[in-house]
Amino acid sequence: MKRFQPQPGFVVQAYRFALDPNASQEHALRSHCGAARAAYNWAVGWVEASWWQRRAEETYGVPEAALTEWRPWSLPSLRRAFNEAKHTDPRFADWWEANSKEAYNTGLANAAAAFDNYAKSKNGKRRGKRMGAPRFKSKRKARLSCRFTTGTIRVERDGRHVTLPRLGTLRTHEPTLKLLARVQAGTARILSATVRHERGRWFVSFQAEVKRDIECVARPDTAVGIDLGVKALAVTADSTGEIRTIANPGHYDAARKQLRRASRIVSRRQGPDRRTGRKPSRRWEKANAARNRVHHRVANLRENALHKLTTSVAAEYGTVVVEDLNVAGMLRNRRLARQIADAGFGEIRRQLDSKTRQRHATRLVVADRWYPSSKTCSGCGAVKAKLPLHVRTYECDACHLVIDRDDNAALNLAALAAAVVTGTGVAGDQDTPKRVSKPRGADQKTRATRPRRKAGAGRGGQVAQLCRASGRRKRETVLKPKLSRFGDVTDLPGRNARNTET
């Protein structure tokens, strides 16, 4: 599906407001979100049914030309099939009229996007981690969300109510004057609305096409380098040599004592048991809600602190330099995973990218992931071979500069802004940029089998030594190759081929 492109001088911006629905409105909201989940599960089952049918027919020796046709997963095809099945399918025949058509369209659109991402990832056309086939959404774990693109979607003139299709007029917890003023002035046009249950509250997010208002920065000719860390959330150093340290608030660590107490109370109550079908008690539900409120407060405090940090940086400097951190890999460190997740490194970069590009029209430079910002001397440019993480002071062997490790990295990032090619937004190794053969950046071949572990490494080595000492032989295990759920990728034709067959 073609992506929406705003007209020149406009940007797509979201305005989110908390809702205060009454009992009947909350029931309707949950019904719409449940309908979206049911439509998504129906689409996944409908498409995968042809996959499993073809695999069963191949085991009976059915020729390729006589196999069951592939079912398309494009959004128009899913809509046509769902409109034919909703009248006869017992899962929808009795209640599908109770919700807006936008609820079912939300689930079908999400399923079409999931299958597209799966096919592109299989064919090497999608960045990031390789994705698997779409799976069914559980009623217990699925996030309650529904999107409205047609019908009556507006912000009321009183500034305290919004109107959505089939849901009617809902009161907002906070005033909507910021969006209402733009709509009345003609500088904003509402495109869609999404309702979502998050952190114990209902929210509505309006996606609007807004006229771009460029805000001037305080120091447009100054570049700043940001070094993110755990002990200090961020260390900023600008091109003039000024260094600032933003302390890590540590909201989660501050609430751990309260969370332990709340979790202990929950564990002493009679909770749900899916194996026996036992329902949770009222006391368990109250205790669990109290524990969730602590988690929600921590998340809100963290989000507020990150917004304040990124807004102040984007509004002051004309060029912002950040590092391309492998946050997913950093979270594998079990000693620092909690602190890294609480800091929100990925969210800081995402907010800086949005605010520098849309709000201030400034430049965001992303340093190369392998750029040695900490190992390079900010005075003479000498690079150290090794610098362990526990060494927090940088001592240069060439010019004998002694400086804090984070301050040195921030100064190097700030100096890197001058060497960046104009308009590329990529720093580090500018002369010979590395080009990879696949968008995921995986040039190295994946090992077909696991490497053989040494006898003295880990618990397996200890078990082997004990077995040899006792005269017994450890039984060897054979690692079988894990097959794909739906066979080889060559069995899946392209999206256009599926559309032409129908």
Instruction: For residues 192 and 239, state if they share a domain.
Output: no
Range of the domain at 242: 219-419
Instruction: For residues 234 and 351, state if they share a domain.
Output: yes
What SS3 class is residue 33? helix
Q: Are 373 and 409 in contact (CB under 8 A)?
A: yes
Residue 487 domain flag: no
pLDDT confidence of residue 379? 87
Residue 174 domain flag: yes
Instruction: For residues 194 and 262, state if they share a domain.
Output: no
What SS3 class is residue 204? strand
Instruction: For residues 207 and 255, state if they share a domain.
Output: no
Residue 490 domain flag: no
pLDDT confidence of residue 425? 43
User: Considering only CA atoms, which of 399, 406, 404 is closest in space to residue 381?
Assistant: 399
Q: Are 320 and 226 in contact (CB under 8 A)?
A: yes
Residue identified by tokens 């693109």 is: 149
Instruction: For residues 310 and 237, state if they share a domain.
Output: yes
Instruction: For residues 248 and 136, state if they share a domain.
Output: no
- CA dihedral (380, 386, 390, 391) in degrees, to 10, reads -30
Instruction: For residues 353 and 300, state if they share a domain.
Output: yes
Residue 499 domain flag: no
pLDDT confidence of residue 463? 43
Please state the rounded mean pLDDT for residues 110-117. Answer: 96
pLDDT, tens digit (0-9, with 9 covering 90-100), for 407-446 = 999 999 999 887 764 444 444 333 333 332 333 343 434 4
pLDDT, tens digit (0-9, with 9 covering 90-100), for 28-70 = 999 999 999 999 999 999 999 999 999 999 999 999 889 999 9
Q: Are 73 and 47 in contact (CB under 8 A)?
A: yes
Residue 1 domain flag: no
Report the domain count for the chain.
Answer: 3
Structure tokens at 284: 């368990």
pLDDT, tens digit (0-9, with 9 covering 90-100), for 263-316 = 999 999 999 998 999 999 999 999 999 999 999 999 999 999 999 999 999 999
Asked whether the predicted pLDDT for residue 262 surpasses 90, the reply is yes
Instruction: For residues 280 and 400, state if they share a domain.
Output: yes
Cα within 13 Å of Cα(3), Cβ side: 3
Instruction: For residues 279 and 293, state if they share a domain.
Output: yes
Task: Name the band, by pLDDT with cuts 50, 70 and 90, for residue 451.
Answer: low
Which amino acid type is present at position 319? T
CA 189, distance to chain mean position in Å, is 27
Residue 187 domain flag: yes
Give 489 or 190, the one with higher predicted confidence.
190
- For residue 366, count other CB atoms closer than 10 A to its CB: 21
pLDDT, tens digit (0-9, with 9 covering 90-100), for 140-184 = 889 999 999 999 999 999 999 999 999 999 999 999 999 999 999
What amino acid positions are annotated as catalytic residues?
A: 227, 323, 406
Q: Are 502 and 74 in contact (CB under 8 A)?
A: no
Which amino acid type is present at position 391? V
Q: Which of 351, 385, 419 is the last residue of a domain?
A: 419
pLDDT confidence of residue 140? 87
Which amino acid type is present at position 308? K
Instruction: For residues 200 and 240, state if they share a domain.
Output: no
Dihedral sign for Cα atoms in the order 107, 108, 113, 115: positive
Residue 459 domain flag: no
Structure tokens at 288: 């669990």
Residue 248 domain flag: yes
pLDDT confidence of residue 129? 82
Q: Which of 176, 211, 246 is the last residue of a domain?
A: 211
Per the DSSP assignment, residues forming a β-bridge with 246 are: 234
Dihedral sign for Cα atoms in the order 488, 491, 493, 498: negative
Task: Name the band, by pLDDT with cuts 50, 70 and 90, for residue 358.
Answer: confident
Q: Which of 140, 164, 181 is the last residue of a domain?
A: 140
DSSP state for residue 42 in the 8-state scheme = H
Instruction: For residues 202 and 247, state if they share a domain.
Output: no
Alpha-carbon distance of 474 to 253, in angstroms, equals 44
Instruction: For residues 233 and 380, state if they share a domain.
Output: yes
pTM: 0.77
Please state the rounded mean pLDDT for residues 78-98. Answer: 91
Q: Are 423 and 406 in contact (CB under 8 A)?
A: no
